[in-house]
Structure 1
Amino acid sequence: MASLSLGLNLARKRGSSWSGAVERRNLLTVCRFSVKTLLDRSCYETIDDSSPEFINFVSILEHILINRLKGQTTWFGYESPRSFWDYVRVSCRRVPHSCIHSIESMENIHSSRAKGRAWIRVVLMEKRLSEYISSALRDFKTTRRFYEDGAIMLGEEASLLADTLIGLNTIDFSFCLKGEGLDGTCPAVIDYTPYLKFTQSSDSISSDEEEMRTLGSSASESSTPDNMVATAAAIFTEQSSWVSKCKRLEQKYSAVLEQKGYLQELVCLREGQLSEAVSQNKELQQRLLDTHLAHTLEKEQLEYIVLELQDQLKSLHSLEQSADMSLSQTSLEPSHSLSLDAKPATNWPHRGKEESPSLRGLCGSLTSVTSYKSLASLKSSECLASPTTDMTSPGLTPPS
């Protein structure tokens, strides 16, 4: 039983070390992919806090910096979780013109996680993230004090990480240090969807086949009579190997199930977003149609009003023309000219006052040559005809 428990412990250690190595390799691979997507996005768009590529990159970098980070031991012997800002603050103090002091003195940032996120944004805008990471890695004593064995910052992959981050110096970042991304309570979640590939390589197929062959061979060997007579140590060793192989298969199966569940949740989320977008599109189209109808009705009403105003203007012009014609005809009649000659003196004192249109027409007719001649002829005929008719008419006596 002791040998069996020892074998199980060894299997657990091997399984944990294998999963840790896979986690480190996956984080570094995804970090390279995220840097590449940031470089591609920066060619035609400004990178800020709202960019999904940047949010994913910051989450990956936080996971790398907190990989196997030691906790802080209190006076009572309890270990409390620690943020990567504690490590950066100590290990990057020798960087020339460091921004550590300015981030420490920020009033709107209090938690250590928020200060670490602010530090990432500041050094990205300064284009010095790789310089800070390299300086922290050179202080190996401090790095060893903050991280456990098997951490990314203690492995050979850390130098590759610093080389990968040099490419970010070509991007012009623009961040606001008062946004929601600096909230220390918000966890860093990595979105693996842009980096998933639904193809199985030949190496993984061959490794799975090899594992199945070894499982089959071990099963066949264990069924022979010679192995049944083997020692208990060999049996326990074989059992530990069986346990380790079953654990590996179980881990692969659980990883596939987790990916499947994640993709199903993502598909449901995208379907909900799509239905919401379709409903919003329908509402906007209906609003556009209603606005178009309202504008069409308003345009027709304005056109009708313009036509009515044009008709009224035409009627006013015709009335003015008819009034002018009637005034000109009345000015040519003799009775009007005589009435004006009979009272010439009453109108002269009132020239200073505003005259009516009929008086203007009558005055204009008196100044014309034809009206003057007709008036003179009438006066001459009256003056010549009255004495002869009075003297020659019988029965009439001349006045005394």
Structure 2
Amino acid sequence: MATRRNLPQSEYAKQRKNLLRVCGMALKSVVDKYCFEGVLSDADTDVRNLLVILENILMHRCKSQGVKWFSEETPSFWPCVVALCSKMKRSCVPCIAEMGSSFSGLALGRIFLQMALMERRLSEYLGEMVASESRDAMLRTYEADAFMLKDEGAALPHMCLGLNAIDFSFCPKGEALTYPYVPCIDFAPYLDFTPCSQAVLDDEHEQAVLNGEIERTEICTDQQGPANEADWKTKYQKLYLKFKDLSHQKNYAEEMLNLKQERIEKLESELANYRVDLDTERISHQRDVGSLQEVVMELQTQIRSGRERSVSDRRRLELYLTGLSTSGKFHEAIALEDMTHQRRLSLTSSFDNGRHGSPYGSLCDGVDSVREGVDALERLVCTPSHPGKRLDRDSDSLRPLFGSSSDVSLLDN
């Protein structure tokens, strides 16, 4: 129904009314056929006619976008669908948009209609398009007197609610949907006059019926009456069992869908929590790494300063020992160290002997000998090497000499 001719508003109103009426008849035909045949596909003429009617409704008074849509300048409702329905929950529009490199806007719109019918969400998509929040986007796509912007467009989602209970099976690959024109609606199934099979009408009676002068019930009276009651009960039982099974299947499918949706929401919340924990751990790790780097730098500084102090102390000790060797005190210190070692050995032997003898006599002798050795060492160390000078008794530089010669060699190294 997309046309660029300027017609009176009354003509557009007739177009909207005709589209709404024929859409209602097509919906009724599809629902009735589903009740007796089950799953419907695009091989059925009523289903194909319904798709054509929906396409004509969505293309009614559609503006030309002024840009080329996939190398083809043509008006299409597909950009409006992308703008309004892409952010819906579990929308099929993003998946269809990925196919846009090889299909025109009209073909993508037809694929969208088939996918919406198979998802049983056509009324939901149409409701999103005719919502008051979407009016600005709709005005950019449609003229002011278009079907989707009037009361007929607001009633369309409610009319299509019945399609949510029907199972459709399409193959929306697009090969058979790429024709670059809007197909024409087939009104023939809804305009055929089928007289009653039991009535024999002549031309006058037929003309009277067509002119409305005679009621149809006066002519098409069922002369046979109702069929056998058992047949009606059998048909009723079959239909009842069929719809009961369909109801159970529908309830099961809805329950599974709800469970999957709850699981998806739970997984999304857990994923968000894991991401928050990951960010927290990353920040904590970076902070710990920074603190460890500071500790390493501080330890390196301490090691460097310790090495410098060690080198300085070694140089001072070498200078001191060089001074002792020059003044002759170094050999005396070594001799004194040998004497102290002998005293220690004698003290150890006295302790061993004291275990079997008098403990106090031998212990006192060992202590006196050690004390005499220490006093001699102090006198040797405290002897001034030059007149007027005296070394400090508690100087740290003399403490290494109170050990053995091996200690002095270690310090020298």
User: TM-score if structure 1 supplies the norm length?
Assistant: 0.44
Q: Taking CA–CA contacts closer than 8 Å with sequence separation of 6 or more, which of the two structures ends up with the larger relative contact order? A: 1
User: TM-score if structure 2 supplies the norm length?
Assistant: 0.42
